[in-house]
Structures are given as structure tokens and as C-alpha cells.
Structure 1
């Protein structure tokens, strides 16, 4: 699995190093206007419907209006995105915030978060109806398919503590992400690590047409954010205006996406022809309340330093990071995040 993840990361690096633009799912850039500043952006993982907002910002000219010629490359998970941004192969990327905190507590990568895509975590354990898993307590002794190092796996001990179950009594089976829905449908595992927005894909992959059983981490851990916008520390320090403009353009695409999920899915399909419109639209409809929860009245993308501190405290309590290993200032540049 380590070899496979390294290979995926290498592909992303090679894609970012190219100079030609094309409308496919490996690389998509704007017009190439010489007056625009070239920027490389990584999605969180692949080009699922949940990533459509970047393509919306590209298609509607929000990046261009902000002065950027943006190249979008599919990411391969939070840790790889952080490493590529830290190494300069990308200027901006998307990564799960909790996984970002855990990673930065262990590796002093020169990256920071500058805005939140999701005000609530999307992480979950997903099963199918009629199986072993119905409640968090059913995870004891269960077999869960997931990619090693994934957000769901990394965060599981924190979720288990909140659900009052022993984390070490759930068996995580190393499995490549593209095959997870089929693995679950074949009943070879009891559940899979999956974002809540992945439910339409999971249900479509099941020939028995069973409904998904979803155990969202956010129900037990409401303070957790979902995906965050990340960039390099030097870019945030030396070019704060660029960071603010890029973030604003991306979040404008996010706003349009949650306002009209079907239109956003259609734009995604224009750039990524293999997109399943029905699944992508369903994903985006599920994502809407995580971008703007019913009890959230702040600005789109806003960061609450108090929440960040509580998240770090919870990770310390769950023994996922060492006390003092990371502070809010190490993981978020609050001055650059959107304000209400």
C-alpha cells in the first residue's frame, strides 16, 4: 500500500510539472493568459462530486477574475496533499483538517490552513442494511475496509473514545479506495471508512440495492471540521493578498455549488467526462449541510480558533498527538481565513 500511495503521489507531481492544458481528469487549467498568475491546486482525493466547487470556480471565471491561471490536479489523500504543497509541487490543496493536525504534530511540514470547506467533519463508517453494524457499539469485533492512513482510519481512535468503545477491537482491513464500495457489497467486510457524501456511490455499487447505514464521526465529535484549504507557510507570509484572493475565488465556487448541486455536477462532468451525474449531484446535496450547518451563521470558510484549540485538546486526550506537539498557530493562519 505504501508503494501504491507513493506512485499516486508521483503521478500527481508529474501532472503538476506539465505545461500543457487539457480537459480531462488528470489536469485542468484556465486559458493560460500570460497576464494571469499560474497557480497549482490539488483536490483532496480524486475528482469525485464533492470536489466540484474548484471546477465551478474555474468554469465561471472566478479564478481568472482574481488574477489566476489555475491548474487543478486530483489529490491522493490528505497526507500526500500536505507533502506536495510543502514541497512546492502545488500552491494550494485540500485536506481533512483533523488529519492535517495529526500529521503536522508528527511532521513539521511548512503548511497551514487558511479556510474551511466543511464546518462539520464528513468522516464516517459506512455499512449496508441487514449486516452486523447498526450502532457504534457494533464496531467492536467488526472488520472495516479502508486505506491505511486514511482520514477515517486516523480519526477512528478519537471517534471510538467519544462513542465509548475500545478502538483496538475494530479490525481495519487494508483496502484500496476505488474498490471499497464493491468490497462492502460483496460482504467481505462489515463496513468501510467513507465520507458521508460517498453514500450514493456505495449504494449504487450494491447489486442487492441495500440502504447504507452511516455512522458519522461528526455526531459524536461536533467540533471537528471537515476539509480545509491549505497552502505553504511562506506563501501565506509573503503573499497574503494572493492567498486571500485565491481562497475567496474558490469559496465563491463552493457557494455556487451548494446553491445548485446539479449545475455544479454538470460542470464537473465537462472537465471530468467519466463523472456520473446522478451520483455527483447526490454527493453535493449531501455535502450542503456540512458546508453550512443549520446552526452556523458565520462566513463561508470561517475558522474558529477556539474550536481549533478544542480539536487539538481532544486529539491529545485520545492520544493521537502528544501534548504540546502542535498549537492552533501551527495549523491555521487565522488572519487569512474568511471573516463574518
Structure 2
């Protein structure tokens, strides 16, 4: 009987010690931000394929910024504004960057809903038409009679009628054909099209692929108040998990800041994770992008969004006849989740 009592007591003590050990282990593994040891699975889409302009997401992952914020992030190549909105709203991804002007057009014209912007990536639009020397395109007017390629949901393509009106182009005289993010530059190099929709920072990569000098026609030359890319998520996630959105945005913007300060290292991180990346061209893209990310007001925090500027963008689009219905900045941006100015 005494032996049985001693055995039960020993077993009870062992169980108690195991429980204490487990609790101690869980406490040691807990992250400083309070999210606990288990990482939340998140899918993130790049803006357009895997180019230098999107290297900051890979930097945030490589440097552990996502992990420190409590996330295990899968990064997938995006295919432009329209596709990213559909994928995020449809629940196949949690976050992705879209061109804000493209988002305004999609929302205001009833082509998309249930998404919100939560941080700015670029303070000015980088949308542009890109071509190379020898195509006869040197000014916006030269685009008439030419054939351009882009993805169907790209902001460059969707915003083109507005750009054309403001630049004095008859957009009905320009032919658009469909392309994919990763093959557009090759299409331009082959000579099968005269130009492509592209961000201005794509110039180094275009010259690397085509072996020719690039000619860029930036939309910002005629539309100066437009933001560039903004980070979006679904309205459902923004409503149900606001703190999660803030943590993710902060980690991503930390990656953006590091990538701009260390473009060569960021390009090498991108090349390690994505095929067919030219590190030199990717680094050059990041160097060009820095001027679009930083606000003209050096004291403004990275990622901020200004309601007044967004209202001006809406007014520009309305004035050009590009929006079928009026809307307010608050309908597309959750300012409570965006970084404070």
C-alpha cells in the first residue's frame, strides 16, 4: 500500500513538473510584441511580377521584420491593380499593393469593392508608357497609331484614357493588346509592340532586356497630385483584425525603408528568391523609386496618406470624365489604420 502511495505521489509530482516546464517554455518562446510563439500565415502579392520595385517585401521577410511582427508570409507575384484587388477581396491573399488611382477608378466605376488602402508605398504615381529608341515615340502625341501592351487590369492601361485627354492624345487611335507582367519587356524587345505599360522605375530593366535606350512617358507629367502604390487589404480583415493590419503594414514599411537605404543588398535578396532577376537592374529600380516614396516634406513619416490629396485625385478623375460616380477618400482609405502624418 505504501509502495502504491509513493508511486502515485511520484507520478503526480512528475506531471506537475512537466506542466511547469511547458509553461516556462511557452513564456520563453513568446514574442516581444505579444503575438505568441505561433506565427500567423499571411499571403502577400507583389504589385507586378518580381522586379526591383517590389524587393522591399522580400527584404522584410529576409530580415525577419515579418516574423518579429508575428507573421509567416508567403510572397506571390501580382499581376497589376485589377487582379490584386480581385485576389485580396476574394480571400486568396491578405495584402497587396495597388496603384491608388487605379483603385479609385475601379471603385468609382463599380468594377470593384470591399477593399481599403491602409498605407502609401509611393507618394507620387509611377505609371508610365515605356518604349525604346527607334519606335518613333518621343512625345505623348507620338502614341497615336501605335500598338501598346499591358495586363488588362493594369493601372497604366486603365488610366490611359484620362492621361490621353490631359496630354492631348486621341486615345481611340491607340491599340492595346494583352500581356503578362513577366513577359512585357520581352514583348517590347521583340518589336511586336511599340510600347508597354510600365512604372518609370522599370527603365533600367527595360534597357537590360532590350539592349536599347528606354524612352519613358510618365503620367505624373500631366497628373501631379496622384499617389502611386498603396497597400490594400479586404474590408473584412480591416474591420475584424485592425491591429494585425497595423503590425503587417509597419513590418512591410520597415522593409521598404531598409531597401531604399540599401538598394544593392535588397536587389540581391530579391534575386535569391525570384528567378530571372538582374540584381544591377533591380538595384537601379530601387534608387529611382526613392524619389517617389519620400514625401516632399522630409518630416512626413513613410506610408502616410493625406485626405486632401486623395480628394484632389478624385477631382482630377471626375474632371476628366473617368469616374462615373463621385466618392470620398474615406470610402477607399481607412485613415485609422494608416501611419500618422
Q: Calculate the TM-score normalised by the size of structure 1.
A: 0.84
Query: 298, 301, 308: which is aligned to 2:300?
Result: 298
- 1:183: how far off? 2.8
1:188 aligns with: 192
1:157 aligns with 2:161: yes
- Which residue does 1:8 correspond to in 2? none
Instruction: Give the Cα–Cα distance (whole angstroms) in 2 for the partners of residues 238 and 168 of structure 1.
Output: 44
- Report how far residue 316 of structure 1 moved: 1.8
CA distance in 1, matches of 2:268, 2:153: 32
What residue number does 2:87 align with? 84
Pairs within 5 Å for 1:269-288: 269-288=271-290
Which residue is 1:251 aligned to?
253
Structure 2 matches for 1:184-263, cutoff 5 A?
184-206=188-210, 209-263=211-265
Aligned to 2:78: 75
2-side partners of 1:108 and 1:122: how far apart?
Answer: 22
1:135 aligns with 2:139: yes
**Contact 2:46/2:96, CA 8 A, preserved across alignment:** yes
3-state SS of 1:173 partner: strand
Residue aligned with 1:299, SS: coil
Deviation at 1:53, TM superposition (A): 0.5
CA distance in 1, matches of 2:239, 2:62: 29
Q: Which residue of 1 aligns with 2:337?
A: 336
Partner of 2:25: none
Q: Distance in 2 between matches of 1:145 and 1:70?
A: 31
- Asked if the contact 2:121–2:293 (Cα under 8 Å) also holds between the matched residues in 1, the reply is yes
Deviation at 1:306, TM superposition (A): 0.9
**Number of equivalent positions:** 305
What do residues 32-72 of structure 1 show as CA deviations (whole Å, max 9, x unaligned)?
x9522222211112222211111111111111111222222
Q: Deviations over 1:10-41 (max 9, x none)?
A: xxxxxxxxxxxxxxxxxxxxxxx952222221
Structure-1 separation of matches of 2:217 and 2:119? 26
Q: Is the alpha carbon distance of 1:181 and 1:88 closer, same or farther for their aligned partners in structure 2, counting shifts above 3 Å?
A: closer
- Are the aligned partners of 2:118 and 2:230 in contact in 1 as well (CA < 8 Å)? yes
Pairwise CA distance, 1:313: 1.7
Q: Name stretches of at least 5 consecutive residues in structure 2 with no aligned partner.
A: 1-35
Q: Which residue of the partner structure matches residue 54 of structure 1?
A: 57
In the alignment, structure 1 segments of 5+ residues that lack a partner are 1-32
Once superposed, what is the RMSD of the aligned Cα atoms? Answer: 1.9
Question: 2:137 & 2:295 partners in 1: Cα distance?
Answer: 27
How far did 1:273 drift?
Answer: 4.6
Q: Is the CA contact 2:48–2:181 (under 8 Å) kept in the aligned structure 1? A: no
Once the two structures are superposed, what CA deviation does each residue of 1:263-289 show, in whole Å capped at 9, x if it has no partner?
Answer: 101111222253221121121112111
